[in-house]
C-alpha cells in the first residue's frame, strides 16, 4: 500500500468517526517494538452506525531490517462491518497486508456467530488472494506470480464468572499451489528475518487461547498461541500479557509484553502501548 492510499484510508476512518460520533465510537493508536529492531505504528476505530451495527477500520505500518541488509516496510489495513440480530450475528470485511514490491495479499472474510450474555461461538471463512515478486536467478528474470488460499476456522468465548472469561480460536488454510521453497533459498531469505517477516503471513494453521481477568475497571489478558508456516513447516509459539487500565472516564491505556519462540527466527520479546478513546452513546 502506498502512502497516498494509506492517507486516503485514514481520512475515511476519521471522517466516519465524526459522522457517527453521536451513536458511539472507539478510537485507538499504538506503538510496538521488538528485540529484532522491528517497529509498528497502528490506528484503529470502531463506530456504531445503527443499533447493533458497528463498522471497524484499522491501519498499521511495520518496519524491520531484512536479512539482505535492506529496510522492509509493510502495511496492514482492514475494514469490517458487524451486525447482531439477537442472538445471531454476521461479520464481513476486507483487508490488505504486505509490501507491493515483494509479497502482499487482499483478504476477504466473513463470520457467522451466536452469542448471549455468557457464551459466543462463531464459524469463520477467509479467502486470501496473494501476489508475490520472485527474485531473479541465474536462469530466470524477476517475475510476478499469484496464488490464493481458503481459510476455515472457529472461535468461542465463555464468561465463566462476572470477572473471568476464556476464549479459543483456530484457523486452517488450504493453498492452491505448493509453497515449499527449499529449492529457492534466496526467496526464503528475503521473506524471513523477524517476527514481522512477510513469511509469517503464509500460515498453514493457527490457534490461540485467551484468559481474561477483570479487577474492577482494570483488565488482564493472558494469550498463548501457536502457528505453523506453510512455506517451510516451522512452528512458532507465542505468549502475551496485556494490561488495560483506565486513564479517565473516556480513555484507557493498554500495555502488552510478549515472547515468541520460533523455529524460523528464534526468540523475540516484544512490547506495545495503546491508547483508547471513547465517545458517543
Provide CB contacts within 8 A for 45, sequence distance 6+.
13, 14, 16, 17, 25, 26, 27, 28, 56, 57, 58
Burial class for 95, CB neighbours closer than 10 Å (0-12, 13-18, 19+): middle
Is a pLDDT exceeding 70 seen at residue 168? yes
- pLDDT tens per residue, range 93-117: 999 988 777 778 899 999 999 999 9
For the record, the C-alpha cell of 204 comes out as: 498453514
Q: Write the CATH number for 87.
A: 2.40.160.40
Pair 229, 199: CB distance under 8 Å: yes
Q: Is the pTM of this model over 0.75?
A: yes
- pLDDT tens per residue, range 181-236: 544 455 555 555 555 566 677 889 999 999 999 998 899 999 999 999 887 788 99
Report the C-alpha gap between 274 and 43 in whole angstroms.
Answer: 9
- pLDDT tens per residue, range 33-54: 988 888 899 999 999 988 899 9
Q: Containing domain of residue 132, as a range? A: 3-279
Report the C-alpha gap between 279 and 10 in whole angstroms.
Answer: 19
Report the C-alpha gap between 230 and 173 in whole angstroms.
Answer: 9
Say how many domains are in the chain. Answer: 1
Amino acid at each position: 500500500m502506498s502512502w497516498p492510499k494509506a492517507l486516503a484510508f485514514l481520512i475515511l476512518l476519521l471522517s466516519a468517526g465524526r459522522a457517527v460520533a453521536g451513536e458511539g465510537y472507539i478510537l485507538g493508536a499504538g506503538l510496538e517494538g521488538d528485540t529484532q529492531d522491528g517497529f509498528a505504528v497502528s490506528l484503529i476505530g470502531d463506530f456504531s452506525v445503527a443499533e447493533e451495527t458497528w463498522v471497524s477500520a484499522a491501519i498499521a505500518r511495520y518496519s524491520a531490517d531484512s536479512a539482505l541488509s535492506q529496510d522492509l516496510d509493510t502495511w496492514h489495513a482492514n475494514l469490517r462491518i458487524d451486525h447482531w440480530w439477537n442472538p445471531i450475528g454476521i461479520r464481513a470485511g476486507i483487508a490488505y497486508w504486505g509490501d507491493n514490491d515483494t509479497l502482499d495479499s487482499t483478504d476477504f472474510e466473513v463470520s457467522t456467530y451466536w452469542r448471549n450474555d455468557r457464551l459466543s461461538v462463531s464459524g469463520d471463512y477467509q479467502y486470501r488472494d496473494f501476489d508475490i515478486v520472485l527474485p531473479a536467478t541465474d536462469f530466470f528474470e524477476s517475475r510476478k506470480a499469484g496464488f490464493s488460499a481458503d481459510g476455515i476456522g472457529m472461535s468461542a468465548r465463555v464468561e465463566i464468572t462476572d470477572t473471568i472469561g476464556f476464549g479459543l480460536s483456530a484457523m486452517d488454510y488450504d493453498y492452491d499451489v505448493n509453497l515449499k521453497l527449499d529449492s529457492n533459498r534466496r526467496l526464503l531469505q528475503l521473506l524471513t528475518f523477524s517476527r514481522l517477516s512477510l513469511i509469517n503471513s503464509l500460515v498453514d494453521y493457527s490457534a490461540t487461547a485467551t484468559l481474561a481477568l477483570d479487577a474492577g475497571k482494570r483488565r488482564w489478558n493472558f494469550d498463548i498461541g501457536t502457528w505453523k508456516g506453510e512455506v517451510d513447516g516451522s512452528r512458532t509459539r507465542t505468549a502475551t500479557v496485556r494490561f488495560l487500565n483506565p486513564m479517565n472516564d473516556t480513555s484507557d491505556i493498554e500495555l502488552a509484553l510478549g515472547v515468541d519462540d520460533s523455529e524460523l527466527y528464534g526468540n523475540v520479546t516484544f512490547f506495545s502501548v495503546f491508547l483508547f478513546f471513547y465517545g458517543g452513546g
